[in-house]
Structure 1
Amino acid sequence: MPATSTTRQSVPGVVPQRVGPGRGEAAARCLGRDGAVVLTGYEPDADSLVVAAATVLGDRLRQLFPQRLRRSHDGRPVPLHADGFDLVVEIAGVPHRRRDPDEDHVLVQCVRGAASGGESFVADAYRFVDECEAADPELWEFLTRTDVDLYGAWAGLRGLPAEPRVGRHVEYTRTGRRLVRRTDGAAPLHRDPQAEYVQAMLERLKSAVAETEQGLERFRLAEGEILVLDNYRCWHGRDAHTGERAVRILTLRTSDAR
């Protein structure tokens, strides 16, 4: 069983800058600098997400995935995570990819704000990993050099391919972009002789991320505002809330994606 690190890391928090309408270049600069930006002045509708994606990412856009409207009543907290899922369905006998493990950007629009709570938070996963190299070398070694089944914990879910999706938490694209994954679906590979070690390290990562989450600065999205995230670089989540809350989510791939 791996020993637990006693070295506390700093908090790699990100509070996205707000950018008004008609300032696509400024929003793109903020996204490139911080990994996240909040766009203001949009109507809370599905078309706004597509327009926002084109405004910030321009001709780098390659593939948009179906939007997801998420409604919650007295919602539980959503821990830090990166989007991405391996989901393929058949429509009229033709396979269609509904989600992709390598979605490199995500847009989250507030459609209806909660009566209380529901604040968002963002962490710079690059900083988390870089600081982990000194604070917890064993965890860093695991994240950068150990293969896991990225969705093995969700095996049997309808639409999830039967073949294991094998990868590491930290990888690089052909263009040299680093991606840092964070999913509750990760599991040891089938019959991995190090399965016990891998499971212990997954729990250690979960604890380290939960500790990081506690120190992150919170911010609230107003209705219509859109949080744009570099999904390879930043993890995001939200606090518990009371009352009704709704967000619309768009994930996509650009020319820089894996």
Structure 2
Amino acid sequence: MGVVPARVDIGNTDEIRHRLTRDGAVVLTGLDTTSDALVAAAATVLGPRLRQLHPLRQRTSQDGKSVHLHADSFDVVVDVGGVQHRRRDPDEDYVAIQCVQPPTSGGESFVADAYRFVDDCTTADPELREFLTQADVDLYGGWGALRGLPATPRVSRHVEYTRTGRRIVRRTDGAAPLHRDPDAEHIQTMLGRFQKAVHDLEGALPRFELAEGDILFLDNYRCWHGREPHTGDRSVRIVTLRSSDAR
């Protein structure tokens, strides 16, 4: 279920869209290392389907630890001059990550097809599949103390569908049982089981490197991504997106 995204020049729009649809991920090449490149890439890949582009984030780490498989999502609403603005959305359906500065060594990326993970659970672990598709959780309850995170719990299942039929497979370390849920103990146990299954999967996934300027463009409903630890400074820019067929 590992994905090695094809490397496609930004000028080949048809091939980019074909690969993204087929594999859930693609690496865009031939781009400048600028914040404008992420915005241009989003418009190029999604075209008229692009509905919302959240604020760009730049992350720099020195001798960084590994990042486990995850899907990007968050729920942050801020007040700017008396007007509420959504800076992150639980239903971001695409994410673009540009390599600004590769590390001295390490930092290889890896991507998993979450659809296949869930489908494989049908025979490999039916109880886990039932949990992922049937149990409600507080999607960000584990991060409840973070400033800016709404106080109202975000109730969700790990596997859901949009009204247009797109499947969503969520993966976040912030999930927690609902407050006073009578099944809280079981749900906490299954969250741990889910995390272990995902962490066990990581070792078998193929690794790939991002060169300076490369953009990893992901279907955030379908693919989870992570990276290896690294030495030296590593810097990336990230933008999360919503398309017209997001939930």
TM-score, normalised via structure 1 length:
0.95
The one of 138, 147, 172 equivalent to 2:161 is 172
Match of 2:3 among 8, 14, 19: 14
1:93, distance to aligned residue in structure 2 (A): 1.1
Which residue is 2:140 aligned to?
151
Instruction: Give the corresponding residue for 1:91.
Output: 80
Q: CA deviation at 1:133?
A: 1.1
Shift of 1:167: 0.4
Cα drift, residue 136 of structure 1: 0.1
Structure 2 counterpart of 1:134, one-letter code: T
Alignment correspondent of 2:128: 139
| Structure 2 gap segments, 5+ residues each | none
> For the Cα contact (< 8 Å) 2:10–2:41, is it kept in 1?
no
Q: Secondary structure at the match of 1:237?
A: strand
Q: Which residue of 2 aligns with 1:59?
A: 48
**Residue in 2 that maps onto 1:8:** none
Runs of 4+ residues deviating >3 angstroms: none
CA distance in 1, matches of 2:224, 2:112: 5
CA distance in 2, matches of 1:253, 1:59: 12
Hey, what does 2:18 align to over in structure 1? 29
Secondary structure in structure 2 of the residue aligned to 1:43:
coil
Deviations 1:176-227 (A, max 9, x none): 0000000000000000111110000000000000011110000000000000
* Equivalent-residue separation in structure 2 for 1:33 and 1:131 (angstroms): 19
Q: TM-score, normalised by structure 2?
A: 0.99
Identity of aligned residues (%): 69
1:43: which partner in 2?
32
Shift of 1:25: 1.2
State the SS of the aligned residue for 1:198.
helix
What is the aligned partner in structure 1 of residue 97 from structure 2?
A: 108
Aligned pairs for 1:121-132 (under 5 A) are: 121-132=110-121
* C-alpha distance after superposition, 1:56-112 (max 9, x if no partner): 110000000000000000001000000010000011111100000000000000000
In structure 1, runs of 5+ residues without a counterpart are: 1-11
Distance 1:115 1:99 in 2: 31
Letter in structure 1 aligned against 2:56: Q
Match of 1:245 among 234, 239, 245: 234
The alignment status of 1:119 with 2:111, answered yes or no, reads no
SS in 2 for 1:114: coil
The count of residues paired between Structure 1 and Structure 2 equals 247
Q: How much does 1:21 deviate?
A: 2.8
Q: 21-30 or 176-185, which moves further after superposition?
A: 21-30
Q: Quote the Cα distance in structure 1 between the aligned partners of 2:59 and 2:10.
A: 25
Q: Distance in 2 between matches of 1:24 and 1:77?
A: 32
- Separation in 2, partners of 1:118, 1:43: 21
Equivalent-residue separation in structure 1 for 2:205 and 2:145 (angstroms): 35
